[in-house]
Amino acid sequence: QVQLVESGGGLVQAGDSLRLSCAASGGTFRAYGMGWFRQAPGKEREFVAALYWSGGSTYYADSVKGRFTISRDKAKSMVYLQMNSLKPEDSAVYYCAAAPYGSSRYVQDYAYWGQGTQVTVSS
């Protein structure tokens, strides 16, 4: 069974950086897409970034493009989200997710989810 465990969230000030980590286990992930999503109180879960586990292109929401970077370490089965120049509107619970059939921007394409990690950015 695929398991995803996020870590690295916290309380930071606007302009600061954070790196979120996602430990992936229970699968080979070769054909998977891995994504980060976030959900703020009262809002729907939204796409942040995604990549193919096997390598290649990365994808970002317009709101984070140029500030966030998604990456993965295949040897460690880890996925990361480096977040720079954080803004108060980036505050949310961030979720790591795995899509068995490739990278996607859509929540419904992801079959496996972590428990989430809280990111709070103060102004």
DSSP string across 91-106: -EEEEEEEETTS--S-
Q: What is the mean pLDDT of residues 95-109?
A: 94
Q: What is the mean pLDDT of residues 71-79?
A: 94
How many Å is the Cα radius of gyration of the chain?
Answer: 13
Cα separation of the two ends of the chain: 40
User: Which pair of tokens denotes residue 92?
Assistant: 């949310």
Q: What is the largest CA-CA distance in the chain?
A: 41
Task: Return d(Cα 37, Cα 3) in angstroms, integer.
Answer: 16
Please, which pLDDT band fits residue 121 given cuts at 50, 70 and 90? Answer: very high
pLDDT tens string 4-49: 999 999 999 999 999 999 999 998 888 899 999 999 999 999 999 9
67 residue type, one letter: R
Residue 120 has pLDDT above 90, yes or no: yes
- pLDDT of amino acid 27: 83
Backbone φ, ψ for residue 117 (5° rounding): -135, 135
CA distances 9 to 47, 55, 81, 115, Å, are 17, 25, 11, 12
Backbone φ, ψ for residue 108 (5° rounding): -70, -15
